[in-house]
Structure 1
Amino acid sequence: MPLPLLGLFALIMLLLAFRGKRSALFLSFISLAALLLVSTPLVANLIIKNNESPALAFNSLKQPKIDKIVVLGCDINPNTALSANNQLGNCALTRLVEGIKLAKLYPNAQLIVSGGGYQKVTNSSLMYNTAINLGINKNRLVQNPAAMDTPAEARLLAPTLVDYKVALVTSVLHMPRAKDLFNAQGVEVITAATDYHNFAVLPWHKQLVPNAQALHVVTQYSHEVVGKAWISMRRWIDPEAL
């Protein structure tokens, strides 16, 4: 990921520079400059703009029927002193909102909330309770708490999804990889991407100032690049791996 990778590289180069290796100063400068650049909204937008296709968003006009809506897990912040929705991170909340919207558009569809967790709190349980609080009948809800990553989500859910019309809800940057993994399990999904970004709408001067949100989005993109490479390598070794 950009922050730990470039930050660690810069630190190592600085340590080498203190030991008399002058070229390390230049490499450290390049590393820190690259980190600052990918943290600017301008560069972040250039990186993601071709990877957040509006075509991946759900179009209800093209889908008269949906049988199952699958919402993939994301970030959580377990704290039993808080309500379920306040323990869901922004990414998880954004996905759940899209799932609930589809559940209300298709009142006969089953809503499946997925994702494991830690400290005895799962993403799926938090989404489950939040969905009930927002008016979804618990009889329509199914949890998938055992899955700790997307390959596991696809593998564990596939037996209940095959031969149904399935809407897959996840972040737009994550959607191509998620769709690929579900397709590999024999599940044809209809994309319902969410969590879009558009840094181009910011004033020009703000696009040149590094900020945490831009770095976060570039980190999400980097995660997907690494994830796709990992899948490709696993499939090269064993075509049935994922």
Structure 2
Amino acid sequence: MFVIKKMIGGLLMPLPLFGLFACLMLLLAFKGRKSALFLSTLSLIVLLALSTPFIANLIIQNNEPASLAFNALKHPKIDKIVVLGCDINPNSALSSNNQLGNCALTRLVEGVKLAKHYPNAELIVSGGGYKNTTNSGLMYQTAISLGVNKSRIFQNPKAMDTGEEAKLLASKLVDFKVALVTSVLHMPRAKDLFNAQGIEVVTAATDYHNFTALPWSKQFIPNAHALLVVTQYSHEVVGNIWISLRRWIDPEAL
């Protein structure tokens, strides 16, 4: 079920969705259907537009509020710091930090920063993986290399998505002051899933973007990073729809 969910979700992202649609329409166009040629052209135009920093900014500008970032002045005490997993690139020839993707590394840096600010807090690194390598394992090794005592770190290596992370960690977080570290676009969904398990969290969002800082000469040129951010946003939209569907079918599901 998990693999099927990930496959369907992946195909609904902008690049595969519009790319496959365009290919299908072009195939039909070769059979003389002008409407297919029009739709395939439109699909490619939409894909290129979503890849521009200007459009990407319009999509995310109201979905990355600074209020989700952590403010230490408002929280004199934190008991648990939960860092959610993200992308990894397993390669045993590399150090642990070089096997963490940019998203995972950004989250971990925030977690380590909080761990040093709150020396009595437990650092919880979460996330499964593949090829016998997990998010939590790589984060654990990297956090130690960054100066966090291993006795303060707890791993959660079995969770394959945010829903599982919330469920598996719930019993460990009840009645504690918890800081939740994840990407800003992912934070609302993550917070909702932890709240559903009875865990109130303090948000510590990372991975902010600001395409308005780019000069106008680059605002309308398709950019791989812009498409990546739109894809991340699309992933959250699909994820929220999936949660709503699961809860509609079974209110106790997530």
In the alignment, is residue 63 of structure 1 matched against residue 69 of structure 2?
Answer: no
SS in 1 for 2:251: coil
Q: Which residue of 2 aligns with 1:5?
A: 17
Shift of 1:205: 1.2
User: Which of 43, 48, 64 is the equivalent residue of 1:31?
Assistant: 43
SS in 2 for 1:73: coil
In the alignment, is residue 85 of structure 1 matched against residue 90 of structure 2?
Answer: no
Q: Distance in 1 between matches of 2:87 and 2:29?
A: 39
Please give the per-residue CA displacement for 1:58-88, whole angstroms capped at 9, x wherever unaligned: 0000000000000000000000000000000
Q: Percent identity?
A: 78
Q: Which residue of 2 aligns with 1:152?
A: 164
Return the letter of the residue paired with 1:126. Answer: L
SS in 2 for 1:112: strand
Q: Distance in 1 between matches of 2:238 and 2:15?
A: 15
User: Which of 84, 89, 93 is the equivalent residue of 1:72?
Assistant: 84
Return the letter of the residue paired with 2:161. Answer: D
Q: Distance in 2 between matches of 1:72 and 1:23?
A: 45
Normalising by structure 2, what TM-score? 0.95
Shift of 1:114: 0.2
Shift of 1:111: 0.1
Q: Distance in 2 between matches of 1:218 and 1:227?
A: 14
Q: Which residue of 1 aligns with 2:59?
A: 47
In the alignment, is residue 192 of structure 1 matched against residue 225 of structure 2?
Answer: no
SS in 2 for 1:82: coil
Q: Which residue of 1 aligns with 2:231?
A: 219
Shift of 1:23: 1.0
In the alignment, is residue 122 of structure 1 matched against residue 134 of structure 2?
Answer: yes
Normalising by structure 1, what TM-score? 1.00
Q: Distance in 2 between matches of 1:160 and 1:24?
A: 54
Shift of 1:179: 0.1
Q: Distance in 1 between matches of 2:195 and 2:18?
A: 35
Please give the per-residue CA displacement for 1:75-122, whole angstroms capped at 9, x wherever unaligned: 000000000000000000000000000001100000000000101000
Please give the per-residue CA displacement for 1:169-204, whole angstroms capped at 9, x wherever unaligned: 000000000000000000000000000000000000
Q: Distance in 1 between matches of 2:250 and 2:128?
A: 26
What value does the CA root-mean-square deviation take over the aligned residues?
Answer: 0.4
Q: Distance in 2 between matches of 1:213 and 1:187?
A: 33
Return the letter of the residue paired with 1:207. Answer: Q
Q: Distance in 1 between matches of 2:199 and 2:34?
A: 55
Structure 2 unaligned blocks of 5 or more: 1-12
Shift of 1:148: 0.5
Q: Distance in 2 between matches of 1:22 and 1:145?
A: 52
SS in 1 for 2:182: strand
Q: Distance in 1 between matches of 2:27 and 2:133?
A: 41
Q: Which runs of 4+ in 1 moved over 3 A?
A: none
Shift of 1:18: 0.3
Structure 1 unaligned blocks of 5 or more: none
SS in 2 for 1:190: strand
Shift of 1:161: 0.1
Q: How many residues align?
A: 242
Return the letter of the residue paired with 1:98. Answer: E
Return the letter of the residue paired with 1:47. Answer: I
